[in-house]
Amino acid sequence: MIHKATLKAFDSGAYKATIQIDGSLSTYLTGVPVSRGIASAELTPGRTLAVLFFSGGNPDDAMVVGVH
């Protein structure tokens, strides 16, 4: 399942993000892996993201797969 999210922070060393899923006003997901196909220069706070959840809504099984 793919969800729309907003990038809050990006760790370029670990290539992981802190994100906020659209519709969730107070909950952030941390340590979400980011596809290495996305250039780190594109990962600035406030960008809109496409996040793929491999197991339904399990945040431990997600990956950022696109930036808008």
Give residue limits of the domains in the chain: 2-67
To which residue do tokens 């941390």 refer? 30
Per-residue pLDDT band for 57 (boundaries 50, 70, 90) equals low
Residue 10, pLDDT score: 98
Triad 16, 10, 50: Cα angle to 5°:
70
Triad 17, 20, 47: Cα angle to 5°:
70
CATH-assigned architecture of domain 2-67: Beta Barrel (2.40)
User: Is a pLDDT exceeding 90 seen at residue 65?
Assistant: yes
Higher pLDDT, 43 or 25: 43
Where in the chain does DSSP place strands (E)?
A: 2-11, 16-21, 29-33, 48-53, 62-67
- What pTM was estimated for this model as a whole? 0.91
Residue 58, pLDDT score: 73
Cβ–Cβ under 8 Å, residues 40 and 30:
no
Cβ–Cβ under 8 Å, residues 30 and 18:
yes
